[in-house]
Homo-oligomer: A and B are copies of this chain.
């Protein structure tokens, strides 16, 4: 008899999360009632935003309560159905949480077509990270042909898409990532014009200035902290900073201190704007259609880093926060 396994929040982390902040629970797989269907998760996503949900602080979403299943997106197949719109075998994507099974009436789920692209991409380049890159770069960052675009966290699921979309848009692209292998992937495979490894670079500011001689028109920020500090003096006139994530700050219990640099915004008539992909929900179809076209045409490449087994969720999440992944970090709960 199959078992429903799920990862719940066991303790609120102080600083970097540890495995003891999570707990694996088991119970019998539930049966769908009339109108419901049962999803068997295949791929589960770990994403930086989840660190925020572990705090006891209201944000754009309510905090998780201790004992609650960890929030997260997943892709799976319908294993049983009493809902006429979902048939056994259908691939679906939505907010499964960190669990092997879920019974739902379908709110917030959508079917995916596995013939268009591998189902796992619905959590990465064709899912929330890809849409975040697409709308954040083109709408919030307003990237246009000829712009110099700098992206931090450039080898992550969002950043790697940002850089490639920027190239398609006719921009010059500079990536910042955390290993030489990541840098080699960005400049060798993905077509970034330049990239550097911040872990082996001592003077971010000088490096950015050298790599962006006419200034930074768009800075797509996934990380915050000293890397973002260093971009500010290189902003070009009318620059746009799209603030997508601040992963370098998420484990801090107190706000980290950094230089006050708003003066650069005046001199450069620049703006710093935060966004959430949900703000573009009414345009997801447009975004997915374009991203799918680019992926199928080979104009956007992607990588996936797989861990295997629901019990690996905490390790995958902790590893992703520390930059262990190149491309999208996923946990494979069962074979396709």
Contacts and interface: CB of A to CB of B under 8 A. Distances in A.
Q: Is the interface of A mostly helix, strand, loop or mixed?
A: mixed
Contacts of A276: 266, 269
A275 B264 CA distance: 10
B260 A225 contact: yes
Interface in A209-263: 221, 224-225, 228, 243-246, 249, 255-263
Given A269-B279, A270-B274, A276-B269, A262 B224 contact: yes
Nearest to A221: B262
Nearest to A232: B255
B271 A273 contact: yes
Contacts of A243: 262, 265-266
Given A257-B259, A261-B255, A274 B266 contact: yes
A268 interface: yes
A162 B273 CA distance: 23
A39 B139 CA distance: 49
A49 B272 CA distance: 22
Given A271-B271, A273-B270, A260 B264 contact: no
A249 B244 contact: no
A203 to B, nearest CB: 16
A267 interface: yes
Contacts of A225: 260
A259 B263 contact: no
A215 to B, nearest CB: 13
B272 A272 contact: yes
A313 to B, nearest CB: 24
Given A257-B259, A257-B260, A272 B271 contact: yes
A124 to B, nearest CB: 20
B258 A269 contact: no
Contacts of A264: 274
A200 interface: no
A32 B9 CA distance: 81
Interface string A75-114: 0000000000000000000000000000000000000000
A295 to B, nearest CB: 26
A261 B257 CA distance: 9
9 contacts: A59-B267, A243-B262, A246-B263, A255-B260, A256-B260, A258-B258, A258-B259, A263-B274, A266-B274
Counting from the closest, the 3 A-B pairs by CB-CB distance are A265-B274, A255-B259, A271-B273
